[in-house]
Amino acid sequence: MDGFYRIKREGFPEDLADFGYEFDKEGKLRNIETGEGFKYSARFKDHYYNEKHYEALADAMTIEVYKMLESECKLKRAPVPYDVKGDEERTFIFHSEDAFTNPDKLLVLMHGSGYVKAGQWSRRLIINDSLKSGSQIPFIQEAQKEGYGVVVTNTNDNHHHELGLVRGSEHPEAHILHVWKHYIYPAKAKHIAFIVHSNGGRLVSLLYPQVEEQFNGRVFAVAMTDSNHYFERHARYVGLQKVSRNWACNRRPLDTPLRTNNGDVVRVSAGTKVHEETSWLCFNSIFKYLRERLAAVKAKEGEGEGTSEATNKESCGNGDKGGGSCLVEEELKGEVKKMKT
């Protein structure tokens, strides 16, 4: 074994170039010879072959995204399980050079369910639109510009066909718990944030009760895009609710407050009804939210340099453990309450 598993589909190549495709400078998938975008119909009226071709090409695209995470984002791989032994099955996460040594802040990215792997929000968008809308690369690059260490999870890489389950990543829930225990929590960062899409929100909600005290002490923000989380006992998740916002599928303008059930994460509009588009369309709003949350936390901790009156207002000073409540979030809750009445 070469240490990291690569999917091989019988009868199809492994590399994107061998399919006749490449990503252009704009991050769009193009036919190398014609310059045209991806075409699903590789064989006329042969749905079975076309579907297999698409899946194999998506696997090759995944390998290409991995290469870009390393070449363009300068990320490195770390094994899961963290203490991998000999030739046992394994997967990996990606992390920036300073992910575990940055004393200030760490950002964790988590995709949804299905076939997507590390660095992806949506295979369909990467293949049919661009890397910009479908991959996590813009989020990683922006986080690095803002001084974050970065961890990119790989929650759907759980088993390797007949080769067996991966220890520490037997299922998505096991993966994020393993990565939290052995990579995220031991990191030096005082402040931790998550950006999670779809099932990633559910995984955070399942992780939270298992590591509640650790989570409350350091996680200042969880930005969710059309999350499918569910809180069985609302009172148990107060700490998570307080630091989270969910950009949900909705036709209303981006960031419009939406009706939020009691005890749930504050919901705002993602400005689209298309589930997989939510992450990219909320890009600017998400990073604005992270900046506001972090400013509020640091103001409360007395870390803010030249803290302005406006920044002080963001910290509600209600004595909550960890993140602290942001004025912007309280205003949104007020708007939601008006909607309910």
Q: Determine contact, residues 16/22, Cβ cutoff 8 Å.
A: yes
Find the domain containing 186 and state its range.
Answer: 75-340
Q: From the CA atom positions of the chain, what is the Rg in Å?
A: 21
Structure confidence by residue, pLDDT tens digits, 250-283: 999 999 999 998 889 999 999 999 999 999 999 9
**What percent of the chain shows pLDDT beyond 70?**
84
Burial code (b: 16+ CB inside 10 Å, e: under 16) for 27-50 equals: bbbbeeeeeeebeeebeeeeeeeb
Distance CA 333, CA 180 (A): 30
Has residue 311 got a pLDDT over 60?
no
Structure confidence by residue, pLDDT tens digits, 6-26: 445 667 888 999 999 999 999
Q: What was the pLDDT predicted at 152?
A: 98
Has residue 330 got a pLDDT over 90?
no
Question: Is residue 50 in a domain?
Answer: no
Has residue 313 got a pLDDT over 60?
no
8-state DSSP, 149: E
CA distances from 74 to 135, 222, 315, 332 (A): 15, 24, 35, 37
Tokens 């099955």 identify what position? 89
Structure confidence by residue, pLDDT tens digits, 68-102: 999 999 999 999 999 999 888 999 999 999 999 99
Question: Is residue 173 in a domain?
Answer: yes
Has residue 45 got a pLDDT over 50?
yes
What's the one-letter identity of residue 84? V
Q: What was the pLDDT predicted at 335?
A: 44
Question: Is residue 328 in a domain?
Answer: yes
What predicted TM-score, i.e. pTM, was given to this entire model?
A: 0.86
Q: What was the pLDDT predicted at 107?
A: 98
Number of domains in the chain: 1
Q: Determine contact, residues 111/118, Cβ cutoff 8 Å.
A: yes
Q: What was the pLDDT predicted at 162?
A: 60
Has residue 338 got a pLDDT over 80?
no
Confidence class for position 214, pLDDT limits 50, 70, 90: very high
Structure confidence by residue, pLDDT tens digits, 223-244: 999 999 988 777 889 999 999 9
Q: What was the pLDDT predicted at 244?
A: 97
Has residue 54 got a pLDDT over 80?
yes
Question: Is residue 323 in a domain?
Answer: yes
Has residue 109 got a pLDDT over 70?
yes
- HSE value, Cβ hemisphere, 13 Å, CA-based, for 198: 17
Distance CA 105, CA 146 (A): 10
Question: Is residue 13 in a domain?
Answer: no
Distance CA 167, CA 86 (A): 13
Structure confidence by residue, pLDDT tens digits, 124-174: 999 999 999 999 999 999 999 999 999 999 999 998 666 689 999 999 999
Question: Is residue 152 in a domain?
Answer: yes
Kindly give the pairing relationship between strand 76-80 and strand 91-95: antiparallel
Question: Is residue 69 in a domain?
Answer: no
Q: Determine contact, residues 76/95, Cβ cutoff 8 Å.
A: yes
CA distances from 238 to 3, 145, 235, 340 (A): 41, 31, 6, 20
Q: Name the average pLDDT for the chain.
A: 87
Question: Is residue 175 in a domain?
Answer: yes
Count of CB atoms within 10 A of residue 263's CB?
13
Q: What was the pLDDT predicted at 323?
A: 37
CATH value at residue 334:
3.40.50.1820
Distance CA 246, CA 263 (A): 13
Has residue 3 got a pLDDT over 50?
no
Confidence class for position 29, pLDDT limits 50, 70, 90: very high
